[in-house]
Amino acid sequence: MNQRLSYEGQVAIVTGAGGGLGRTYALLFGSRGAKVVVNDLGGDTKGQGQSSRAADKVVEEIQQAGGIAVANYDSVEDGDKIVQTALDNFGRVDILVNNAGILRDRSFARISNTDWDLVQRVHLRGSFMMTRAAFPVMKKQLFGRIIMTASTSGIFGNFGQANYSAAKLGLLGLSNTVAIEGQKYNIRCNTIAPVSGTRMTEGILPPDLFDEFKPEYVAPLVLWLCHQDCEDTGGLYLTAGGWYGKFRWECTNGTMCRKSRDETVTPEAVRDHWDLITDFTHSYNPESGQEATAHLVGALQDLDSKEETSSQNTSNPTAT
């Protein structure tokens, strides 16, 4: 367990790596032997402007520390160009960290089409375009590690972030399916929801948390999830300030609102069973769509067996 994690011989693409969280991932990958593609469009937090400076600076930092890196200044919407930079320079892609992001915060009543579209384009479509370009390369290699970057705003919602919340939880759905489809090719895909003091959270996080939740604390989770020894896939991890935890789904045991297969269910029946429907005292944690469906099928089977018992009781009134 003491062995230092190495990424020697591997190629990592980190999008939006010119600053904030992405920079710390790129630096750590570079210091652990990975050849790094440092992608960054170099715009502002709202996605305006463009500059090669941000990516170049991080490449210089990696090189000065003895690592190998190359810059790419394309938007993540041109995922194939960024993957091509990796292939042209290093011949493979082992790791993809979908990290680039912008904010266009507005209360829901005031959100414009542009605010909505730009955020979806960078976060959701950008991560899709990147992953779709990298996936066949990883499939051929029979190895790949992919990270999606979600947010507590996606998991719980957040005032003024309808566009961002939708994109961020969309990324979890994308990740879950990429994890399923990548499984047999040794491609693992996980999602992180970080909290960190970066330019994106400046003035939003309270100053003490801003200072304490350094981006450097998120990077170790990303590196472990991207290591060849880490077999976990389809997970969602929350992290800040050196704390790491895993999310999972929880569903109440629920209740069947009809007594037989030929009975219909009324809105009143749902109302009258509301306590049982929403009671988490008895719950389960489905880990797949199949598990969730199995629970529903089980409820149907219970209904059938109850129906059978009651018809036996009716036909044999002396049975106990």
By CB under 6 A, name the binding residues for ligand NAI: 15-16, 18-22, 39-43, 45, 47, 54, 75-76, 99-102, 122, 126, 149, 151, 194-196, 198-201
Residue number with CB closer to ligand NAI (102 or 187) = 102
The DSSP-derived string for 228-243 is: TT----S-EEEEETTE
Least distance from ligand NAI to the Cβ atom of residue 184, Å: 29
Least distance from ligand NAI to the Cβ atom of residue 175, Å: 13
**7 annotated active-site:** no
The token pair that represents 172 in the structure block: 């979890």
* Residue 287 one-letter amino acid: E
Per-residue DSSP letter, 161 = B
Least distance from ligand NAI to the Cβ atom of residue 141, Å: 24
Least distance from ligand NAI to the Cβ atom of residue 266, Å: 43
Residue number with CB closer to ligand NAI (15 or 175) = 15
CB 117 within 8 A of CB 132: no
Residue number with CB closer to ligand NAI (47 or 170) = 47
- Catalytic residue, chosen from 164, 217, 237, 244, is 164
CB 148 within 8 A of CB 175: yes
Long-range CB contacts (within 8 A, 24+) of 225-229: 225/145, 225/147, 225/188, 225/190, 225/192, 226/7, 226/12, 226/29, 226/95, 226/97, 226/145, 226/147, 227/5, 227/7, 227/145, 228/143, 228/145, 229/5
CB 125 within 8 A of CB 47: no
Rounded CA gap, 89 and 105, in Å? 37
Residue number with CB closer to ligand NAI (13 or 138) = 13
- Of all helices (H) and strands (E), which one includes residue 269? helix 267-272
CB 30 within 8 A of CB 14: no
Residue number with CB closer to ligand NAI (43 or 234) = 43
Least distance from ligand NAI to the Cβ atom of residue 96, Å: 13
Rounded CA gap, 132 and 126, in Å? 10
Residue number with CB closer to ligand NAI (152 or 253) = 152
Rounded CA gap, 215 and 29, in Å? 14
Least distance from ligand NAI to the Cβ atom of residue 218, Å: 8
Name the residues annotated as catalytic.
164
